A and B are shown apart, each in its own frame.
Chain A
């Protein structure tokens, strides 16, 4: 069954199913709710306007996740560049990358974990976010990122190790 991205019924069905996943992926890459909403909106606009067709709902879902992941990473990169430019002007040392949402979080451990996730290299972070927040298995992640399943496995493992190392350096042990 072919799925048309601009068919009203299929679009509605996919939107209902996939939006929460996209929102989680965008949020846990950017840690900014408003930016995540914009990113999800942009992803669905592209999805609709491009009038694509997919072999199945799952393939449409992978496409959307891939676009959302790319948009989120671009957002983070752009933010990082803006922050760097701002710091150069102000001649201040690089502050820790804390976002507005982080200050609201009461749980210290949570904010440290978030902070550590943000410090992970992009390729490790993407795999871990898709795994833990996107509810996807290795096979699906491999399809989305166009890498092999065993590569997903390696990256997930390395991401966890780095995360633990960073959390230990912060002096806080996860409960």
Chain B
């Protein structure tokens, strides 16, 4: 008797430790019988490897599943780089909108004051220092008149004194799409510190990962199998140290 099949199998798997590994190599080099058995094991392994799923075959599935997971599992990832979503709370948005409107409004008014009439299909009344209208008003439409009437009451109006409503109205007439949006105060994002999503999932006590991994096993099936093959877990089957016998 030469090498045990068990030893050969471990050797092929690269699991044989020294000094047995060297002994097996030595033995195979001069025992034709064991060499043939060894080669048969190797050829079986090679045949198994031939049918192995190749990397390029896997890539398609890998990308498809990733897209699916991105879409379904993690829609509100705070650290997503490609589709980063920024949400402001209500007051912040309103303040930002007001600042923007004031900026645009101020620019429009300075333009009007310096250049006479504003570009576009209507003109904004330009106020002179003594409160008289300096610009012709024939082409101004009635809607504009109300604004001009109101502004007319205050002599020598400064742009800062216009109300947000007036500016919005004017911008609206100019054809700007002005919309003041307000988000819910209870947006699922905290307004300070790092963006942390506040989950409303019910609390789940910490579970042992291993017990969850076993969830996938169908109960009856696996247990029944355990009974049948219980003897395999018996230590009698185990060969702790390879038995090597010298060549005859």
Contacts and interface: CB of A to CB of B under 8 A. Distances in A.
B213 A24 contact: no
B240 A157 contact: no
Contact of B15 (A8, A133, A153): A153
Interface in A141-157: 146-148, 150-151, 153-157
Interface in A94-125: 105, 107, 109-110, 113-114, 117, 121-123
Contacts of B225: 122-123
Interface stretch (B27-35, B137-145, B157-165, B214-222): B214-222
B238 A151 contact: yes
Given A114-B51, A123-B232, A8 B238 contact: no
B239 A153 contact: yes
B73 A70 contact: no
Interface string A10-42: 010001000110011001100001001100110
Contacts of A28: 51-53
Interface string B185-212: 0000000000000000000100101101
Interface of A: 8-9, 11, 15, 19-20, 23-24, 27-28, 33, 36-37, 40-41, 44-46, 48-54, 59, 63, 66-67, 70-71, 73-74, 77, 105, 107, 109-110, 113-114, 117, 121-123, 128, 131-133, 137-138, 146-148, 150-151, 153-157, 160-161, 163-164, 167, 174-175
Interface string B51-94: 11101011001101110110011100101100000000000000
A132 B50 CA distance: 11
Given A23-B53, A150-B240, A157 B44 contact: no
B50 A27 contact: no
Contacts of B73: 44-45, 48-49
Contacts of A109: 47
Please name the 6 residue pairs, one residue from A and one from B, whose CB atoms are nearest each other, closest first: A70-B216, A157-B9, A150-B238, A66-B213, A37-B61, A174-B47
Contact of A153 (B10, B68, B213): B10
Contacts of B240: 150
A172 B4 CA distance: 24
A175 B52 contact: no
B5 A67 contact: no
